């Protein structure tokens, strides 16, 4: 069944949090006054304040991948908002390994996360009145996942796809061939006017990346 949500009813807000400049997003339905948080890596107080400022009730947290800068304060944020954490199952091992998720290697202590629910490729979620399609996009991590919201014309790409670039693949479990496949054969199948909300840096569109991304 197609998603009938009016695009004008959807609001996307965001904050850049933490020492590595991680993009944390709020995806919300204005009419329902409900929303989702994506990648609350740091600064839970700022994230909860963003939710309150927008006048919505958070329903869940979505994690794109298990690196520490995307998960460090997920549990603290979830507890503050009273919501579950959903994360890609294929990154399960990284979430409990402080070396693979880079927290120990980069001097940020031992960061781990046990989500409330794991997600797999192809799942379709209905949360906050929105349809979210889970797209497995390994390469930056083994379990990297993007969240496509057709009604919003948006995809939250984590560290898989950036403006005219892709995520690093020199970390544990990374693969350049896998990330190129994920971008070329998964994300480039989305409509050209889809706005890409990456884990770091500026927004872009699928159409722009199709024409300008050197990794394609």
What is the number of residues in the chain? 216
pLDDT of residue 107: 78
Q: Which residues of the chain have pLDDT under 50?
A: 1-4
- The string of DSSP codes covering 94-119 is HHT-TTTTSTTTTTS-------SEEE
Residue 6 has a pLDDT of 61
Tell me, yes or no, whether 1 lies in a domain. Answer: no
Phi then psi for 79, rounded to 5 degrees? -65, -40
Residue-number span of the structural domain to which 162 is assigned? 7-212
* Domain assignment present for 2: no
CATH of the domain at 71: 3.60.15.10
Nearest C-alpha neighbor of 121 from the set 138, 103, 134, 104: 134
- pLDDT tens-digit series, residues 97-112: 999 989 987 778 899 9
Q: Are 199 and 208 in contact (CB under 8 A)?
A: no
Which pLDDT does position 109 carry in this prediction? 83
Q: What is the pLDDT of residues 144-178, one digit of tens each?
A: 999 999 999 999 999 999 999 999 999 999 999 99
* Coil vs helix vs strand at 151: helix
The verdict on residue 101 lying in a domain is yes
Q: 85 lies in a domain? A: yes
> Which pTM value belongs to this model?
0.95
Count up the domains in the chain and report the number.
1
Q: Which of 139, 199, 137 is nearest to 174 (CA)?
A: 139
Largest CA distance in the chain: 47
């Amino acid at each position: 069944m197609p998603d009938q949500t009016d695009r004008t009813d959807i609001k996307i807000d965001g904050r850049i949090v933490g020492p590595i400049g991680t993009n944390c997003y709020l995806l919300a339905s204005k009419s329902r006054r409900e929303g989702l948080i994506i990648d609350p890596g740091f600064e839970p107080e700022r994230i909860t304040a963003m939710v309150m400022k927008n006048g919505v009730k958070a329903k869940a947290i979505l994690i794109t991948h298990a690196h520490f800068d995307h998960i460090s304060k997920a549990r603290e944020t979830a507890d503050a908002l009273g919501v579950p954490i959903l994360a890609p199952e294929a990154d399960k091992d990284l979430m409990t390994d402080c070396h693979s998720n880079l927290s120990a290697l980069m001097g940020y202590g031992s960061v781990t996360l046990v989500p409330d629910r794991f997600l797999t490729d192809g799942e379709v979620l209905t949360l906050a009145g929105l349809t979210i399609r889970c797209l497995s996009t390994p390469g930056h991590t083994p379990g990297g996942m993007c969240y496509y919201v057709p009604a919003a014309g948006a995809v939250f790409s984590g560290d898989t796809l950036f403006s005219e670039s892709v995520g690093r693949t020199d970390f544990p479990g990374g693969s350049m061939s896998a990330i190129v496949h994920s971008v070329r054969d998964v994300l480039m199948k989305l409509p050209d006017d889809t706005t890409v909300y990456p884990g770091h840096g500026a927004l872009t569109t699928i159409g722009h990346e199709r024409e300008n991304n050197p990794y394609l």
